[in-house]
Amino acid sequence: MSVSEICQVCEVAQADRTCGQCGRLACERHLDEETGMCVECVSAGGGSGVPGDPTNPGGPADDDVLR
């Protein structure tokens, strides 16, 4: 995806990535490649988890999963 906007975390660098959790535009420095999330979501404890897993509320609910 080609994005030519400013990072919504630092508001300085050019954003070339999108957070998989919140959709925020982020620069290389502010997107964690391992999780695909911006540093704001990572620090807030966001995550993908197993559907319906009560130990990881960041995961989708059972009725949000396509079958």
**Is 41 within a domain?**
yes
**Is 10 within a domain?**
yes
What's the start-to-end Cα distance of the chain, in Å?
A: 27
Helix (H, G, I), strand (E, B) or coil at 32: strand
Q: What is the pLDDT of residues 25-36, one digit of tens each?
A: 999 999 999 999
**Is 67 within a domain?**
no
> What is the total count of domains within the chain?
1
Does residue 55 have a pLDDT over 50? no
Q: Would the pTM count as exceeding 0.75?
A: no
**Is 66 within a domain?**
no
User: Taking the mean position of all CA atoms in its chain, how far away is CA 12?
Assistant: 19
- Those residues with Cβ within 8 angstroms of residue 63's Cβ, 6 or more apart along the chain or in another chain: none
Domain range for 33 is 5-58
* Gap between the Cα atoms of 14 and 28, Å rounded: 9
More confident residue, 16 or 61: 16
